[in-house]
Structure 1
Amino acid sequence: MAIVEKSPIDKRLFGHPVGLYILFLTEMWERFSYYGMRAILVLYLVAETAADNPGLGWANDSAIALYGWYTMFVYVASIPGGIIADKLLGQRKSVFVGGLLLVAGHSVLAIEQLWAFYSGLILIVMGVGMLKPNISTMVGGLYPKKEQNKRDMGFYIFYMGINLGAAAAALIVGYIGENIGWHYGFGLAGIGMALGQLTYWYGQRYLKHVGNLVVDTREDTEKKESTNLIGAIFNHSNSLAGFTVTVLAGIAVWVFGGSWSYGLLIIGLAFAVGVGIVVYNDGNKIEKDRILVTYLSFLIIIIFWGAFEQAGGLMNVYAKQKTDLMLGGFEIPASWFQSVNALFILIFATIVGSIWVWWKNRNRESSSLFKMAIGVIIMGWGFFFMSVASQEVSYDAAGEIIQKSGMQWLVLAYLFHTLGELCASPVALSFITKLAPDRWMAFMMGAYFAATGLGNKVAGLLGESATDFGEFAIFTGIGVFCTIFGILVILVLKPLKRLTHGAEELEGSQHDETEGFELADE
């Protein structure tokens, strides 16, 4: 009897498709490059120009402002990245293009010229926009509809890859950047991304069945608007109204608020609002409800990351300037604290996942929205440790620091941030793949990351305001707000869950109800 060997796409390792581990390694190296650069970006901006390892000598608020703009655009670029994948390239090819752009961007950052600095940031924004939403969507596509629970675990494994890369990056790139040279650190991040690109290229035979372009086979009258997204904004009253109101808000901020930059940002986001409503209009009744609850969940995402991303900005500068970093005779590099979150994730991911399984087995509330709300609350509590830390710092009459805070407060804050992230972030990724229609999967994942980007910008604004209001007010305010917001989400959980139409309880998924779409042959 002939033995039929399994094709590469059917092979499994530890119960999961081999393709998962290819995506795991690709994302691990991509996050190594991103978080490595992120760990030293603000420190490079504020480093004195006359130092042994000179930086740009910017003021703290200016550096944190650029950090906020940059991290926002990195994720907002996921919207056009998702649309390109849905309508032109497919997710698999889009990830490859994004990887090439990232290798180029990180490599350019290694050049010690100001033009190279800004050019590198632009290339990285474009690269992450193409790669990030699409590789996450591909993870969900590896699993059949009947394997919803295994899909959740697949995202946890994928999330471990993200944090392996992040932990190694902060330690290695951070040390090299702070102690050898900032641009050597940027260059090392580029080498990491090149390794990720090679891994992805090598593993294509395990991924041929996922991330391909979805061809709309409905009648031309049905699919016309989903093809011409920008034009479709002006074809319906609700999308036109959403677009118009957002544009007017941007003009008001520009004219009356005196901020052309934020005015232009809001005007640009008007197109995202309009397209989002077009996508909503394109669905049937069940799809519309699920798309609506997905959009509502983005508010939770903005709040979560608006608080959480103080790590790379305000808390990064606080670690450098106001924290006692001496441990015996060794001074810990401030950038190393960027690895604490990732290390805690590697330690606690399985524990938190097991606790939720135990909780669910006791027939307790365990929906994704509930976990996200609990995550916001726990993460917010971490800032109360930073409130204590800010009270330990003392100054002389000239305003110079004479006593710094202990580093244990930073560690405790990052611990609570990590526990909150483990409750919220992996399940949010899985939640999107369960609710979004196949034909809009990459767009919806892109919109999720765009919400993350807006949260990053909120983080930058809060970090900037610390110059005027002080760290104690900012840290305490974030902690109180996140607690109240999380409780409010829990109070409205039942109507939100009704809008999902049982997507998380079904053995199949909402895609069973969607007809008229097929994958393009490769």
Structure 2
Amino acid sequence: MASSLTKDSPSAPAAPEKTFFGHPRGLAPLFMTEMWERFSYYGMRALLTIYLLSGGPDASKGLQAGGLGMDLATTTAIYAIYLSMVYLLTMPGGWLGDRVWGPRKTVTIAAVVIMLGHLTLALPGSGSFFAGLALVATGSGLLKANISTMVGHLYDGPNDPRRDGGFTVFYMGINIGAFFAPLVIGTVGEAYNWHLGFALAAVGMVIGLVSFLLGTKHLSPASSRVPTPLTRQERTTWLRKGLVWLLVAVVFYGVVGLTGHFTLNWAMIPLTVAGLLIPAAVLARIKSDKSLSGGEQSRVSAYVWLFVAAAAFWMIYDQAGSTVQAFGTTKAAPELFGFGFPSSWYQSLNPVFIMALAPVFAWIWLWLNRHGKEPGTVVKFAAGLFFIGVSFFFFLIPLAMSASGTLVSPMWLVGIYLIQTVGELCLSPVGLSVTTKMAPRKYASQMMGVWFLAVTAGDSVTGLLSIGGVDLSRTGVVALEAVLAVLAGGAIHMYRRRVRELMGDVH
């Protein structure tokens, strides 16, 4: 009787809705999935450069054997191409989520692909290494494009007051995973066994996948829907095109391989060229769209300036995991204050600096805004380029100190990563924000993918330089990159009024 009375009584209080730090419960599985995916991704990335160098001419004497024994130029090229492909694949990843599978199914497939990629990396041999790298890049591109979309689905439109806070919590998951990954995966891989480290990355992705599957019941129903599904005719057309291009690639590389002409450059050069041509083609297509209004055309013109600036920034910034990481492994002392540590730990510096400084920067921008002195988007971009240039000017000091064979203090690398993080906080969050503001209505859902293409373009330049034989760790090259970054920042600042005019009412 009591139960029926309670059920029927209109005055019975409703059970309080369970939340995750005051946010919808669906944020918890997305937080956990992203945290563990980033744990696996950054753990593998922390090992990537030193694993490629191990056993080669540019490896330090203390580095364990068993790696692929490549020189620094090839290592830098592979690292840069890998990063460029991760960000390039966010666009087809978003397309698959929008047109074929829906975000939830796409993320599930992505997690499985990433897990298989890390397991493949755990197998010995260069063939399995490159296959695993391709799988991880593909899965990361699929996941990155869709999981943030599902966070947005949890809230009641863009004006939900909890929305920004939800993305902040989600962003913390990224940095927590990125911080602990080198400490765990890096230590095991570098100090004990490379392939065991890669296997641990797979375990991290398994935990993320299980967390996601267990929590899908708390996600928004919108995450399961395909927003604009392909028609049957479109599916047939896309399938036919895909099979044609696959056949062309198989025949071409089959001929190259069977005739004995295949080298690594046959794969690397087309990827780097594609990483430059595709971003340029996408921007050109949007800019030449006659259906855009005059104001939208003007904002796209302004965005090209910001895109080029961002590409220059990421070209230097992403060398933190290749050129700077290699220097830390081979030219920096392996201990600090009597405490020894693996060189892969350097990759934990950026996420810990992000977590420490992001709230400070948010407060600074608000404080300046209240006093009417907050710099505009263009000035922040110029500052980002200035700081990334300064980080490489700072890099010149330990480079000079190590020229005689002296091992430098790890604190020099701490300084480099700190300065680069300051530059990142000036440019990256601002770029994400301004991309959503300046996007033409027709391309609103695609512009975030366009922003990620700036990373692709920047890393592709690094890859091409390395393939071309440019030693990016030479003092003269580091100095030239530093000068060009500062000059680019100065040029953006000099023409800030013109760019602001093109931006219209966006600031």
Task: Give the TM-score normalised by structure 2.
Answer: 0.80
1:339 aligns with 2:348: yes
* 1:137–1:445 CA contact under 8 A, matched in 2: no
1:385 aligns with 2:388: no
Secondary structure at the aligned position of 2:350 is classed as helix
User: C-alpha displacement at 1:159, in angstroms?
Assistant: 2.8
Corresponding letter in the other structure for 2:393: F
Gap change, CA 1:23 and 1:276, over 3 Å in 2: farther
The aligned counterpart of 1:316 is: 325
1:421 aligns with 2:424: yes
Q: Distance in 1 between matches of 2:442 and 2:25?
A: 25
The more displaced of 332-341 and 202-211 is 202-211
Corresponding letter in the other structure for 2:316: A
1:473 aligns with 2:476: yes
Corresponding letter in the other structure for 1:215: T
Corresponding letter in the other structure for 1:476: A
What is the CA deviation profile of residues 459-491 of structure 1, one whole-angstrom value per residue up to 9, with x for unaligned ones?
445667896475322332222222222232233
Corresponding letter in the other structure for 2:199: G
The more displaced of 278-287 and 26-35 is 278-287
User: C-alpha displacement at 1:229, in angstroms?
Assistant: 9.7
User: C-alpha displacement at 1:306, in angstroms?
Assistant: 0.6
Q: Distance in 1 between matches of 2:429 and 2:161?
A: 13
Q: Distance in 2 between matches of 1:152 and 1:304?
A: 26
The more displaced of 370-379 and 138-147 is 138-147
The more displaced of 112-121 and 269-278 is 269-278
* 1:140–1:433 CA contact under 8 A, matched in 2: no
Q: List gaps (5 residues or longer) in structure 2.
A: 1-10, 241-264
Secondary structure at the aligned position of 2:446 is classed as helix
* 1:173–1:188 CA contact under 8 A, matched in 2: yes
The aligned counterpart of 2:141 is: 129
Gap change, CA 1:149 and 1:5, over 3 Å in 2: closer
What is the CA deviation profile of residues 85-109 of structure 1, one whole-angstrom value per residue up to 9, with x for unaligned ones?
2322333332222112111111111
1:56 aligns with 2:68: yes
Gap change, CA 1:298 and 1:467, over 3 Å in 2: closer
Secondary structure at the aligned position of 1:394 is classed as helix
1:78 aligns with 2:86: no
1:215 to 218, 228, 231: 228
Q: Distance in 2 between matches of 1:490 and 1:210?
A: 42
1:42 aligns with 2:45: no
The percentage of aligned residue pairs carrying the same residue is 35
User: C-alpha displacement at 1:20, in angstroms?
Assistant: 4.0
Q: Distance in 2 between matches of 1:25 and 1:112?
A: 30
Gap change, CA 1:279 and 1:230, over 3 Å in 2: farther
User: C-alpha displacement at 1:213, in angstroms?
Assistant: 3.1
2:33 to 26, 29, 47: 26
The aligned counterpart of 1:453 is: 456
The aligned counterpart of 1:507 is: none
Corresponding letter in the other structure for 1:132: K
Q: Distance in 2 between matches of 1:328 and 1:290?
A: 52
Aligned length: 465
* 1:53–1:179 CA contact under 8 A, matched in 2: no
Gap change, CA 1:259 and 1:215, over 3 Å in 2: closer
The aligned counterpart of 1:167 is: 179
The aligned counterpart of 2:262 is: none
What is the CA deviation profile of residues 133-165 of structure 1, one whole-angstrom value per residue up to 9, with x for unaligned ones?
222344455555563886555444433222211
The aligned counterpart of 1:405 is: 408
* 2:73–2:471 CA contact under 8 A, matched in 1: no
The aligned counterpart of 1:238 is: none
Corresponding letter in the other structure for 2:321: G
The more displaced of 311-320 and 298-307 is 298-307
The more displaced of 56-65 and 458-467 is 458-467
* 2:35–2:174 CA contact under 8 A, matched in 1: yes
Corresponding letter in the other structure for 1:355: I
The more displaced of 432-441 and 386-395 is 432-441
* 1:101–1:126 CA contact under 8 A, matched in 2: yes
RMSD: 3.7
What is the CA deviation profile of residues 234-283 of structure 1, one whole-angstrom value per residue up to 9, with x for unaligned ones?
xxxxxxxxxxxxxxxxxxxxxxxx99953675367655654555555386
1:305 aligns with 2:314: yes
Secondary structure at the aligned position of 2:351 is classed as helix
Q: Distance in 1 between matches of 2:198 and 2:77?
A: 20
The aligned counterpart of 2:256 is: none
Task: Give the TM-score normalised by structure 1.
Answer: 0.78
The aligned counterpart of 2:246 is: none
Gap change, CA 1:322 and 1:374, over 3 Å in 2: same
User: C-alpha displacement at 1:114, in angstroms?
Assistant: 2.7
The more displaced of 430-439 and 57-66 is 430-439
The aligned counterpart of 1:509 is: none
Corresponding letter in the other structure for 1:445: M
The more displaced of 97-106 and 286-295 is 286-295
Match runs of 1:343-358 below 5 Å: 343-358=352-367
User: C-alpha displacement at 1:452, in angstroms?
Assistant: 1.1
Gap change, CA 1:438 and 1:91, over 3 Å in 2: farther
Corresponding letter in the other structure for 2:178: A
Match runs of 1:275-286 below 5 Å: 275-279=282-286, 281=289, 284-285=292-293
What is the CA deviation profile of residues 179-235 of structure 1, one whole-angstrom value per residue up to 9, with x for unaligned ones?
110001101111111122222223323432555433399xx9xxx99x98999xxxx
Match runs of 1:6-21 below 5 Å: 13-14=20-21, 16-21=23-28
1:115 aligns with 2:118: no
Corresponding letter in the other structure for 2:41: Y
